[in-house]
Amino acid sequence: MKIGIASDHGGLDLKELVKEILAGHDCGVLDLGTDTPESVDYPDYAQKALSALACGECDRIVLVCGTGIGMSICANRIPGVRGALCHDAYTARMSRLHNDSNCLILGGRVLGPAVAQDIVRVWLTTPFEGGRHQSRLDKIEKLAGNIIRDRSCT
């Protein structure tokens, strides 16, 4: 499995740790930056990873910023991306089992290394259950188009 990874300056240290974790699970890693602690704008790095996912350059992506909130907002604006901001192994597990998340989002300033390691391990190894959950994902994909078509506000 090939995993793309990107962060802003607030997620840089955790991004480097996650790269090591991914490599330990025999994943190919596509590092899309940042590589510096200088302040950068997280949407720029989210875009790089989201584009890599959309173009098939990687199977899944990991996004990291200070809290994970900004990256989460970016990721979930893109059709087909199921970004999950996870704070523990349970949320990581459920994001895969029920939501088939293809984008793990972490907060570099809110997670310790041991918790992050558990989250990544669980997210990588948990399969999607499918079944009734697939029909819900199908509804999510239709949601954006329905909202735009049904918009009657003037």
Q: Catalytic residue positions?
A: 65, 98
Residues 6 or more apart in contact with residue 131 via CB below 8 angstroms: none
* C-beta of residue 62 within 8 angstroms of C-beta of residue 5: yes
Pairing label, strands 83-85, 103-107? parallel
